[in-house]
Structure 1
Amino acid sequence: MIATQNKIWKSAKAAFPYSLPMLVGFLFLGFAYGLYMKGLGFNAWYPFLMALLIYAGSVEFIVAGALMGVFTPVYVFLLTLMVSLRQIFYSISMLEKYGSGVGKKRWYLISSLVDESFSLNYVATIPSHLDKGWYMFFVSLYLHIYWVLGALLGNVFGNIIPFDLKGIEFAMTALFLVIFAENWLKEKSHKSSLLGIGVASLCLLVVGKNYFLLPTLAIIWLLLTLWRAKLNVTLEQVEK
């Protein structure tokens, strides 16, 4: 029992500084969401519970607007599905990391899979003396707490503290650029990265910035699936 508690504590302690770079972005974006809810006339319980239970920034803004209009659950469902469809591709990449080896923690890891937790847990270099499941669990938990805290603070103190949030949304874009650069430096082959850049650029030119994301993800998934099948065939031929 003591050994298990020590293992959990060590993982929690190690995961905290690793999650901290996300703190500022989450607090500011969460603050903006809480402030938005305040402007719509909702008290602090709404952004707190929505951030806690929905935990999907874009979707929470959609739901907030939907609460002010006509009740159209089918429209909200389809719009939410379209906005969050990219996470299907994230989940495919995390099948191995979030597999049975992490135990019951996998259910929280799956439900708390957002862009940032995917980015951090996917590239995490976890020391061998730490429990990988608990480490990824606490990374996801800290990010969840940052978001809920930001949303709550935005609603409670939004009208008191004069924050200028203009341009803060670029913080997450900058973060992903840094993550991409780190992956580029770690890769032995840049074929998959160049494929992603090429497909995204082509779709951006063909369908425009408002609609390029879904076809980009679908094409990349298809190409990588075919590429993986080709690699498997090549490996089997080599082994024979």
Structure 2
Amino acid sequence: MRNFSSEKGKALKAAFPRTIPVMTGYIFLGMAFGILLHAKGWGVGWALLMSLFIYAGSMQYVATSLLASAFNPIAAFIMTLMVNARHLFYGLSMLDNFKGTGKLKTYLIFGLTDETFSVLCAAEPPGNVSRPWYMFWITFLDQLYWVVGSVVGSLLGSVVSFNTKGLDFVLTALFVVIFVGQWKETDNHIPAMIGVAVTLLCRIIFGGSSFLIPAMAGILLCLSLAKKKMPRREAL
């Protein structure tokens, strides 16, 4: 039991520094969500439960409007599928990474957000650290930041009025920070260049409102074709 606890402790210590950029973004984005949810008439309990069991970032923002509208499960299902369809490609990309994770696999799948996906793809645990527990702590800490931000935002929204215009730009800034960090840490920049090139091409072809899913499919296809020519860590 002592060795097992030590294994988890080492993984937590190694994982925490990797999640700091996500913490910076998730705390503020979570707070914005909590404030917005409270403004719609839903209290802190709803903020906590939604962040624990939905934990879908942008979909939680959309859900604040769905909660305020007439009940329409079909429309809610279609909207959720459209907003979160990119996670299908995330899951396919993480098939190899999640092998051998045992009982932790279910939670790793549930907690795979955009930012967590980016960190897991770039971060490799030290040689003496359990990879499954390392990935678990990254995923768990990221969700913890979001939950804390949501609850704090809801509580603040009950006592202070906020103008949240432009606050969601924190998410864009967070993606830039993660991208730059990955670029500096790797010698092979082919995956990053593929991602940028395919995304720009799809943006031009499909337009700003419809390019995301084609871009993710194109990136997955290109990386799959280039995988044999890249080191394992870079290929994902």
TM-score w.r.t. structure 2 length?
0.88
For residues 78 and 121 of structure 1, do their structure 2 counterparts lie closer, same or farther at Cα, with a shift above 3 Å needed? same
Q: Which runs of 5+ in 1 are unaligned?
A: 233-240
Identify the range of structure 1 (146-155 vs 188-197) with the bigger mean alpha-carbon deviation. Answer: 188-197
Map 1:53-68; keep pairs closer than 5 Å: 53-68=53-68
Identity of aligned residues (%): 38
Map 1:74-85; keep pairs closer than 5 Å: 74-85=74-85
For residues 182 and 12 of structure 1, do their structure 2 counterparts lie closer, same or farther at Cα, with a shift above 3 Å needed? closer
1:72-106: CA deviations, max 9, x gaps?
1111111111111111111122111111x222111
For residues 192 and 123 of structure 1, do their structure 2 counterparts lie closer, same or farther at Cα, with a shift above 3 Å needed? closer
Identify the range of structure 1 (31-40 vs 209-218) with the bigger mean alpha-carbon deviation. Answer: 209-218
TM-fit CA distance, 1:188:
4.7
**Alignment partner, residue 32 of structure 1:** 32
| Alpha-carbon distance between aligned partners in 1 of 2:160 and 2:15, rounded to the nearest angstrom | 31
**Alignment partner, residue 88 of structure 2:** 88
1:89 corresponds to which letter in structure 2? F
Query: Quick check: 2:29–2:170 contact (8 Å CA) kept in 1?
Result: no
Does structure 1 residue 220 correspond to structure 2 residue 219?
yes
**Alignment partner, residue 128 of structure 1:** 127
| Alpha-carbon distance between aligned partners in 1 of 2:10 and 2:224, rounded to the nearest angstrom | 38
TM-fit CA distance, 1:55:
0.3
**Alignment partner, residue 12 of structure 2:** 12
Q: Which runs of 5+ in 2 are unaligned?
A: 230-236
TM-fit CA distance, 1:192:
3.5
**Alignment partner, residue 3 of structure 2:** 3
For residues 20 and 164 of structure 1, do their structure 2 counterparts lie closer, same or farther at Cα, with a shift above 3 Å needed? farther
Map 1:172-211; keep pairs closer than 5 Å: 172-211=171-210
TM-score w.r.t. structure 1 length?
0.86
| Alpha-carbon distance between aligned partners in 2 of 1:226 and 1:23, rounded to the nearest angstrom | 34
1:155 corresponds to which letter in structure 2? S
Query: Quick check: 1:102–1:133 contact (8 Å CA) kept in 2?
Result: yes
| Alpha-carbon distance between aligned partners in 1 of 2:47 and 2:194, rounded to the nearest angstrom | 39
For residues 16 and 221 of structure 1, do their structure 2 counterparts lie closer, same or farther at Cα, with a shift above 3 Å needed? closer
| Alpha-carbon distance between aligned partners in 2 of 1:49 and 1:123, rounded to the nearest angstrom | 30
Secondary structure class of the residue paired with 1:205: helix
2:133 corresponds to which letter in structure 1? W
1:199 corresponds to which letter in structure 2? V
**Alignment partner, residue 154 of structure 2:** 155
**Alignment partner, residue 104 of structure 1:** 103
Query: Bigger radius of gyration, 1 or 2?
Result: 1
| Alpha-carbon distance between aligned partners in 2 of 1:122 and 1:195, rounded to the nearest angstrom | 15
| Alpha-carbon distance between aligned partners in 2 of 1:116 and 1:136, rounded to the nearest angstrom | 13
Secondary structure class of the residue paired with 2:22: helix
